[in-house]
Amino acid sequence: MKRHRHLLVGATMALFACVAISSSPAMATACTNLRSLQLQHTVINSADDNTTGTFVPPGASPIIGLPAFCRVTATLIPSSDSSIKIEVWLPESTWNGRFLGTGGGGFQGTITYNELASGIQAGFAATNSDLGTGSSGCNPLFCGSAGNMGNPLAIEFGDPTAPSTGLFGHPERIKDFGYRAIHLMTERGKEIVNAYYGHRSQRAYFAGCSTGGQNALMEAQRFPNDYDGILAGAAAFNRTHLHMAGLYGWQNTHASPGRFIQAGQMTLINQAVLKQCVGQDGGASTDQFLTDPRDCHFDPKVLLCKGSNAPPACLTADQVTTMQRYYAGTIDPVNGQLINPGSERGNETDDILALGLALQERFPEPAFDGLFYWVFGPSFGYPASATNFANFDFHRDVDKVDDQLAAVLNATSTDLSEFRGHGGKLLMYHGWADPLIPSQSSINYFLALAGNEGPGFQQGFQPVGFFDHGNGSPALRRTQSYARLFMVPGMYHCSGGPGPNTFDALTPLVKWVEAGVAPDTILATKFVADTPPAVQMTRPLCVFPKVAKYNGGGSTSIATNFTCVTDENDFNQKPAPKYGP
């Protein structure tokens, strides 16, 4: 499992190289002196120097190229049932004066060491947390399950052998996971920085993707003074309904044996999507991805088997139904309300590491259904029980989950007035080819922010005058003064994918906060085989609602041959109001 964990968190921080504030003075206290530091509800477990340039995470490959740093590990105990693990890494002579909170992925359960390493390599004092779920034996994909049932793929991805209930019966740990762990990590982390360097950090930033993106928005909403700048990637902010979408997708492919999508067929579908739609949405006709999939209206019926053709070279009628429901989203079967948006066309992949349908349908139960064990307990893993992973009722059972979990887990508030009031800046990004979290979810959240700034919105569409011939409406301009969204063509969940999927979004955020320079574009790179240094292509990421359009001349692999232009008013699939923005 550990070798797959990086796919659940942001890989886009690897390139950042932030502007300097000032050179750091020598530390005010020796690292080992931090062992005796007294902080509220906190046990300092260790404080040690690392001057080797290398760190070896538990069960993983060594991380190299590190500056000398002080590594502090601690346990936070805000309640008698809490056990939140955090680490704070403090550069010994290369500190840039800034504090960086970082996130992880899925149910977390362990420290995300590559985020800490990236942080100190860029000069930050960095911190990370297991979100308190490690005490329940959770890992990124599983936090409650019926056990791996002997399924080889489930075993490989870390599903434990025996059934578990995750955070069932532990409401305080659910609070820790939802919002408290990151906030307390931030408070204690800042105090450790102050004790080590002898003064506070001059600026504080948070960067996270997936669950880290949820943490990011939760911080802006609940603890608006924790950070000056927040980077939120592919945010799992509408948590309960996102997990319902995982259940819905699994049930969709297991409704009957004929509904299962076979190996190779997601690639077949993706090629058909590109053949019909590529280049119609900005971008270039030679792209292997879509620039804005909302312009694509591909119907999987075109792949229906005819004559002597048979799967996997085509789709059966049952498989067409599976894919139509894949795109349509999670729907209440009684009233037809949309609970969570569907998958965008262009995200179809047979790569199981992309965490999409090709992985999910091959598990004996949905990978992220652990959240429902927190509500229904161990019975959720048994098909004979009233409510389980195979028969969850998307009309009857939704409210029970939301009643218990939504207020704690869903970062759906769009009131960021206090965060904006102290000068806070929010930079969001999301891959258009994300197979795990529907990409239009981030657009829905951004549009909801803009909706607070002016009237004129209608269901699923930007407001009247939102584009205003390229200048943007007053509501858009007011929103973009503190919050900006960048959609990433061809990027999977937080990283990977056929498009330009590696970029530095943190440096533009720092410049926005500290120099008042709001980013309009971010340069993204696609490396050959997604491995530096050989560059396959570059492309500008455009501030939403603009898209990158090919100028018509020069190589389509070079970013300068594209211009960010105003997009047309596209329909954006949006949940029913009761299910969040």
Q: In the 8-state DSSP scheme, what is residue 380?
A: G
pLDDT the model gives residue 282: 86
Q: Identity (one letter) of the amino acid at 84?
A: I
Q: Match 């578990």 to its residue by tokens.
A: 164
Are the CB atoms for 429 and 486 separated by under 8 Å? yes
Beta strands 203-209; 98-102: pairing state: parallel
Write out the E strands in 29-76. Answer: 42-50, 54-55, 63-64, 69-76
> Considering the domain boundaries, does residue 75 fall inside one?
no
Neighbour tally for 131: CB within 10 Å: 30
Q: For 298, list phi and psi in degrees, rounded to 5.
A: -55, 135
> Considering the domain boundaries, does residue 310 fall inside one?
yes
> Considering the domain boundaries, does residue 372 fall inside one?
yes
> Considering the domain boundaries, does residue 63 fall inside one?
no
> Considering the domain boundaries, does residue 404 fall inside one?
yes
Q: Using CB atoms within 10 A of its CB, is residue 181 exposed (0-12), middle (13-18) or buried (19+)? A: buried
> Considering the domain boundaries, does residue 488 fall inside one?
no
Record the pTM.
0.95
Dihedral over alpha carbons 179, 181, 182, 183 (to 10 degrees): 80
Measure the CA–CA gap between 50 and 63, rounded to whole angstroms.
12
pLDDT digits (tens, 9 = 90+) for 512-527: 999 999 999 999 999 9
> Considering the domain boundaries, does residue 307 fall inside one?
yes
pLDDT the model gives residue 503: 98
Are the CB atoms for 429 and 443 separated by under 8 Å? no
Are the CB atoms for 205 and 118 separated by under 8 Å? no
Q: What's the number of domains the chain is made of? A: 1
**Alpha carbon distances (Å) from 184 to 10, 85, 125, 402, 540:** 22, 11, 16, 25, 36
Q: Any residues with CB less than 8 A from the CB of 547 and at least 6 apart, and which?
A: 281, 282, 283, 291, 292, 564, 565, 567
**Alpha carbon distances (Å) from 119 to 94, 163, 207, 464, 549:** 11, 36, 10, 41, 33
> Considering the domain boundaries, does residue 7 fall inside one?
no
Tokens of 380: 């959720």
Which among 178, 438, 446, 460 has a CA at the least distance from the CA of 330? 438
Average pLDDT per run of 10 along the chain, which is 581 residues long?
Answer: 46 50 61 97 98 95 97 98 98 97 97 98 98 97 96 96 97 98 98 97 98 98 98 98 98 96 98 96 93 96 96 98 98 97 97 96 96 98 95 97 98 97 98 98 97 63 55 88 98 98 98 98 97 97 96 96 92 94 94
Q: Match 């574009």 to its residue by tokens.
A: 521
Are the CB atoms for 298 and 314 separated by under 8 Å? no
Measure the CA–CA gap between 220 and 415, rounded to whole angstroms.
9
Tokens of 535: 């560059």
pLDDT the model gives residue 467: 58
Cα–chain center distance at 267: 23
**Alpha carbon distances (Å) from 247 to 43, 157, 288, 393, 416:** 38, 18, 29, 10, 31
Q: Using CB atoms within 10 A of its CB, is residue 226 exposed (0-12), middle (13-18) or buried (19+)? A: buried
Segments forming the whole domain that contains residue 381: 240-263+299-344+350-409
Measure the CA–CA gap between 191 and 193, rounded to whole angstroms.
5
